Amino acid sequence: MQRGEHQRADQSVDVHAAIVPAGARCGGRVTVGRTPGPSRHLVTMRFPLALSVKIAGHILKHKLRRTPKFALVLQLEPLHTCNLTCTGCGRIREYSTSLKNLVPLEKCLAVADECDAPMVSICGGEPLIYPQIEALVEGLRRQGRIVYICTNGVFMRKKLKDYLATVHRPEHPADEARLRQLLAEQLIAEADAAIIRRGPEDQRPVIRPSKWLYWNVHVDGLEYTHDLIVEREGVFRECVAAIKLAKRLGYQVATNTTVYRETDVREIEEMFKFFSSLGCDGHTISPGYDYDAAKQDMVKRLGKNPEAFFLTRKMTIEKFAKIEEWGKAFTIFGTPVYQEFLAGKRELTCTAWAIPTYNVQGWKAPCYLMTDTLHSAGHYPTYQEMLTQVDWDRYGVVNGVARDPRCENCMVHCGYDPSGALGTNYQRGDNWKNFKYNFWPRPPAYPADAELTKRVFNGVSIGQGHLAKAKTAAPTSAIPGSNHQGQSSAAALSSSGGARARDLSGTKMAAAKKE
């Protein structure tokens, strides 16, 4: 441990800092935010009291016991299979040889029990592909945990309709009126309504609304940008429909955004406004830095400079210059201390052990983004083994100096948001700031705005097919370091998710937007 680090941890009583899972793409990136959520009786509070109290109790318990390291959020990846191949997702690349493997349900529940984090973020891969996702959510809820389902949104409406089928009573006028309303809003189709009216076919569990549960939907910008990044047209529109349906059915929903080098922050503000107007309960936002798996792939296999695509620390600070302003206008997850860090106003040290990741290979060390096989085993069989065997002082950036070069540009939630909550770099007034942020009234929802909605649906919805447009807009010669001379962009992009396609992200976004 560096001198000065953790020096005033004992002063932190930042118990309410409801750090929450977010930021990993659905699977590939993690953002640690805060517990959001509308509680009917505490609707004016930024975060639900019961959840804040639960996390507060957890931190306080460990502070009193002087537990040196403990988990706040478990990033649980029961599988790495995904229906998308998003640009910049490290998961489906790092674990490409084990994409078909699953963590058995019992093991998922056992590891949650083992690390005892009050919050579990189920990610992946796409967690809704996990065959026992409903039982997993139910099991974690039985353990008393706050559950986040980090999803790309594509299968979300299916799960919502499964739930609706279990509660719909065709003979009940109010239920029928609700169904007709959902039909009118095109959130369900006639065929869906018929299935819902028939009721469930078996006794399988469904994912029910709860104040302890959040859908955390991956959205990286407005329609055009998001569909470019996920490399499939129509995904943004599906996410919006799923979010609307979830809100109509009483679920809590957060959005989860990664900021890239080419991300226009004005677009991010528009996105916050739009999803706030839909009644979303919070937003997580995280810098997409040059994490190891993606960087190695880019350097070794493609001979490209990652700085052309990912954020450096300096760029992150520039992009997040208005994060505190956003925190006032919208329900942004992440402690105010972490927000100050992102805005470049203070330093924090990495506390990646507080947000451990468990996946098909075990407990991933040292963090969600990096698997260090040079100085650690890479994956460990138990959380305790990982805690005791990993040399945590090797990682992070302290006083501007990277302890490990791979950490140099990292400012992600999973490394640094817990530091804000745990008070590892305590400064006078931090507790009050965090307390105020949690218990102050929630920023009001942004008013519905037809002009805003028009600006939001700026892609395939108005006939702007992103793939076709990007093919025209990003000629091969425009790709920095391209070693595919002679290959047309169209050919490169035609294999959505292929190496060429994903590495074109920055260029696609920049070139398409110049049009």
> Binding string, 380-399, against ligand SF4, x = CB under 6 A?
---------------xx---
Which of 243, 407, 470, 493 binds ligand SF4 (CB under 6 A)? It is: 407
Task: Kindly indicate which of the ranges 57-65, 89-97, 320-328, 455-463 contains the residues binding ligand SF4, using the contact rule CB under 6 A.
Answer: 89-97
52/75 with CB nearer ligand SF4? 75
Which of 16, 46, 91, 500 binds ligand SF4 (CB under 6 A)? It is: 91
Task: Kindly indicate which of the ranges 107-115, 141-149, 261-269, 402-410 contains the residues binding ligand SF4, using the contact rule CB under 6 A.
Answer: 402-410
At residue 152, φ and ψ (nearest 5 deg) are -85, 0
Residue 460: CB minimum distance to ligand SF4, A: 18
Which of 306, 334, 362, 415 binds ligand SF4 (CB under 6 A)? It is: 415
Task: Kindly indicate which of the ranges 7-15, 80-88, 102-110, 113-121 contains the residues binding ligand SF4, using the contact rule CB under 6 A.
Answer: 80-88
* Cis ω before 366 (30° cut-off from 0): yes
47/148 with CB nearer ligand SF4? 148
**Type of residue at 235:** V
205/234 with CB nearer ligand SF4? 234
Task: Kindly indicate which of the ranges 121-129, 161-169, 239-247, 431-439 contains the residues binding ligand SF4, using the contact rule CB under 6 A.
Answer: 121-129
**Residue 295 burial (CB count, 10 A):** 21
25/244 with CB nearer ligand SF4? 25
Asked whether position 92 contacts ligand SF4 by CB under 6 A, the answer is yes
Residue 241: CB minimum distance to ligand SF4, A: 17
Tell me the C-alpha distance between 126 and 513, whole Å: 29
Per DSSP (E only), the strands in 53-145 are: 73-76, 119-122
Which of 89, 207, 294, 422 binds ligand SF4 (CB under 6 A)? It is: 89
Residue 397: CB minimum distance to ligand SF4, A: 6
Task: Kindly indicate which of the ranges 20-28, 32-40, 269-277, 480-488 contains the residues binding ligand SF4, using the contact rule CB under 6 A.
Answer: 20-28
360/369 with CB nearer ligand SF4? 369
Instruction: Report yes or no: 403 and 326 within 8 Å, Cβ to Cβ.
Output: no
Q: C-alpha distances in angstroms, 272 versus 23, 261, 286, 330, 448?
A: 15, 19, 14, 7, 12
Burial class (CB in 10 A: 0-12, 13-18, 19+), 184: exposed
Task: Kindly indicate which of the ranges 82-90, 166-174, 466-474, 488-496 contains the residues binding ligand SF4, using the contact rule CB under 6 A.
Answer: 82-90
Task: Kindly indicate which of the ranges 41-49, 54-62, 119-127, 160-168 contains the residues binding ligand SF4, using the contact rule CB under 6 A.
Answer: 119-127
327/366 with CB nearer ligand SF4? 366
32/51 with CB nearer ligand SF4? 32
Residues linked to residue 424 through DSSP beta bridges, in sequence order: none
Tokens representing residue 326 in the block: 């956003």
Which of 50, 60, 85, 208 binds ligand SF4 (CB under 6 A)? It is: 85
Which of 27, 221, 287, 423 binds ligand SF4 (CB under 6 A)? It is: 27
Instruction: Report yes or no: 22 and 32 within 8 Å, Cβ to Cβ.
Output: yes
91/244 with CB nearer ligand SF4? 91
Q: C-alpha distances in angstroms, 285 versus 180, 216, 411, 438?
A: 35, 11, 11, 17
Tell me the C-alpha distance between 259 and 221, whole Å: 9
Asked whether position 414 contacts ligand SF4 by CB under 6 A, the answer is yes
121 three-state secondary structure: strand
Tell me the C-alpha distance between 22 and 17, whole Å: 14
Per DSSP (E only), the strands in 204-279 are: 213-218, 252-259
Residue 493: CB minimum distance to ligand SF4, A: 16
> Binding string, 219-248, against ligand SF4, x = CB under 6 A?
-----------x------------------
Instruction: Report yes or no: 354 and 338 within 8 Å, Cβ to Cβ.
Output: no
Tell me the C-alpha distance between 210 and 119, whole Å: 14
Closest to 233 in 3D by CA, of 243, 244, 225, 241? 225
What kind and span of H or E run contains 493? helix 489-494
Residue 382: CB minimum distance to ligand SF4, A: 19
> Binding string, 141-180, against ligand SF4, x = CB under 6 A?
-----------x----------------------------
| DSSP string across 287-320 | E-B--HHHHHIIIIIT---GGGTSB-HHHHHHHT
Instruction: Report yes or no: 343 and 334 within 8 Å, Cβ to Cβ.
Output: no
Which of 56, 82, 182, 422 binds ligand SF4 (CB under 6 A)? It is: 82
Residue 446: CB minimum distance to ligand SF4, A: 26
Tell me the C-alpha distance between 204 and 286, whole Å: 35
Task: Kindly indicate which of the ranges 37-45, 123-131, 264-272, 323-331 contains the residues binding ligand SF4, using the contact rule CB under 6 A.
Answer: 123-131
Asked whether position 430 contacts ligand SF4 by CB under 6 A, the answer is no
Asked whether position 366 contacts ligand SF4 by CB under 6 A, the answer is yes
Q: C-alpha distances in angstroms, 480 versus 31, 302, 508?
A: 29, 11, 12
Assign 3-class secondary structure to 129-177.
HCCCHHHHHHHHHHCCCEEEEEECCCCHHHHHHHHHHHHCCCCCHHHHH
272/416 with CB nearer ligand SF4? 416
Residues found near ligand SF4 in the complex (CB under 6 A): 25-28, 82, 84-86, 89, 91-92, 124-126, 152, 218, 230, 350, 352, 366-367, 369-370, 395-396, 406-407, 410, 412, 414-415
